[in-house]
Structure 1
């Protein structure tokens, strides 16, 4: 049996879709998750149900912050590759629950890096792919956002924790030769998405006839990325460990649609798909938010031939169809 691919956060939105894609091409996958209650654990269990029963999939309930159980699991499984997606997510929540972000995103990521270092020393490891975030660009006013831009002005603790992950991975690549690639995701959406993300929150509220909160009076733009496009990019990167540049095997890439959409147009397309007129509660800008996210994906296109192909006019109806089916609406 070939060495498995470890996917942390496998019960999460992106993790489930990635695990499905890996299984679809014949990989052995071990999914890890602690199934916490940041949002409804029933949704996480339902995602897992999409994976369980596949002969190539195994699930381990473990917390990456557990300094005994997590390293022991890695030593037993001896994966050749790890895709690290487990994290405490959410910009606004990081303002009220900061310790959760330090525990999961810093201490937990350190355990992942130490595990990769151990596996490499044992000759069993080739590549760590980890999730960063578009939030690292913070107050950057230059668009489109490029991986060459300075990212030293975060506007939330969540963003700071993700930038710290990039620096931690760089250190492990430089000092220990751990090949690692970080992916800065831009507002990923689609079927099985997170309840705290825009597509899910807006759909639930519009169908319930509730007013929707629209921040900065709708004057926001986001680079919405459909889940299938994001997964295709992740697979391409996973298959090619970061090449050593000046002896350091670490790389960063943006994954996004390269097409910033006005929030009001996103709401319009969603409302048309739902066949409902939304009631909007126009609010001021929220702390930790940014006006625009707009991604430069040229390096990913150049190195892997990848580019996003799904527009919101295509992706949002697919999300709505899943939502109606899943919740029986």
Structure 2
């Protein structure tokens, strides 16, 4: 199939490109390459997939020099005309929308970027799917949508109407927008609530990256909520393998869905929501200890209050995804952290 992946200079998109190309799909990737974090890391990810920085031109497809089925276009989701023109020209079978303005804490100081990228940008993707129909739209939501929920594990069948950050709100809005378009225009849509993704080539604003960088530079790490945090850390290979299995499996309308007792995860329209996590929450301090063990040194810790917009614990119920894809996440933090730190030391030429 011909697959459009947005955010292919990003963490998850970069890994997914390689996996789908292995399967024989033709992939067109897009990314705005914004400066939310170090653009050199983004360009290096692109380089790993055969896209040379010097060859990139705004709005023009660049052929990968190493992956024959992959082309890349520098393009932002907010570019309405550019997105529609790309849909018109390429006629995609599947769209995987991973591009977004990420980060809970960043949304406290730059709220407008979340509306531009995550709301307006996603609307442009939906309009592309509407006017140039696709077989399946897969899009990134987030575990952040669970907000003030405390019933564990988080289930896609739970109500999620109490977000605690604008980032979470934008992701919840994506789910509602996708449902509307699934209903009105019969676009089969699958939303994925990612739970704290980590691994090689990961984002510099995430805890594993921040902690590793600080410890190797002999700087203190900021430990929020005084270490009383738990996260359902999910390794990148588990994430992209799940998406890979979802690509050829678009949802269909549920014949058992009832408006008298509405299930938030399914619909009378071709629409579904899945958690995509490890389903094994880890204490933040245990996570830190594993990093320290791999680096061979102890971190100096600044114990701090929980930040606005953060939640103290996440835990994914992934049974629905397992049943649908026959894949259960398998990587432990022991394996995942080891792989990340080996990559980090090689990429940044760090000797510990």
TM class, shorter-chain normalised? over 0.9
2:81 to 53, 68, 87: 68
Q: Which residue of 1 aligns with 2:125?
A: 112
Q: Which residue of 1 aligns with 2:72?
A: 59
| SS of match in other structure, 2:125 | helix
Return the offset for 1:70. 1.2
Return the offset for 1:315. 0.5
Count of matched residue pairs: 323
| SS of match in other structure, 2:132 | helix
Higher mean alpha-carbon deviation, 243-252 vs 294-303, is at: 243-252
Q: Which residue of 2 aligns with 1:282?
A: 303
Q: Aligned partners of 2:22, 2:48: CA distance in 1, in Å?
A: 12
Q: Aligned partners of 2:21, 2:346: CA distance in 1, in Å?
A: 24
Q: Deviations over 1:51-81 (max 9, x none)?
A: 1221111000011111111110111111110
| SS of match in other structure, 2:103 | coil
Runs of 4+ in 1 over 2 A off after TM superposition: none
Return the offset for 1:280. 0.3
Q: Which residue of 1 aligns with 2:103?
A: 90
Q: Which residue of 2 aligns with 1:23?
A: 21
Return the offset for 1:95. 0.8
2:209 to 183, 200, 204: 200
Tell me whether 1:188 sits opposite 2:197 in the alignment: yes
Q: Aligned partners of 2:77, 2:282: CA distance in 1, in Å?
A: 35
In structure 1, the gaps of 5 or more residues are none
Q: Which residue of 1 aligns with 2:113?
A: 100
Tell me whether 1:226 sits opposite 2:239 in the alignment: no
Q: Aligned partners of 1:186, 1:238: CA distance in 2, in Å?
A: 19
Higher mean alpha-carbon deviation, 7-16 vs 47-56, is at: 47-56
TM value normalised by structure 1 = 0.97
Q: Which residue of 1 aligns with 2:218?
A: 209
Q: Aligned partners of 1:249, 1:216: CA distance in 2, in Å?
A: 40
Q: Aligned partners of 1:308, 1:301: CA distance in 2, in Å?
A: 9
Return the offset for 1:24. 1.3
| SS of match in other structure, 2:272 | strand
1:242 to 240, 251, 269: 251
Q: Which residue of 2 aligns with 1:264?
A: 285
Return the offset for 1:313. 0.5
1:34 to 32, 35, 46: 32
Q: Aligned partners of 2:341, 2:23: CA distance in 1, in Å?
A: 27
Return the offset for 1:50. 1.1
2:171 to 162, 165, 175: 162
Tell me whether 1:298 sits opposite 2:324 in the alignment: no
In structure 2, the gaps of 5 or more residues are 51-64, 256-267
| SS of match in other structure, 1:99 | helix
Return the offset for 1:215. 0.4
TM value normalised by structure 2 = 0.91
Q: Deviations over 1:277-299 (max 9, x none)?
A: 10000001110010100010010
Q: Which residue of 1 aligns with 2:272?
A: 251
Q: Aligned partners of 1:67, 1:25: CA distance in 2, in Å?
A: 30
Q: Which residue of 2 aligns with 1:133?
A: 142
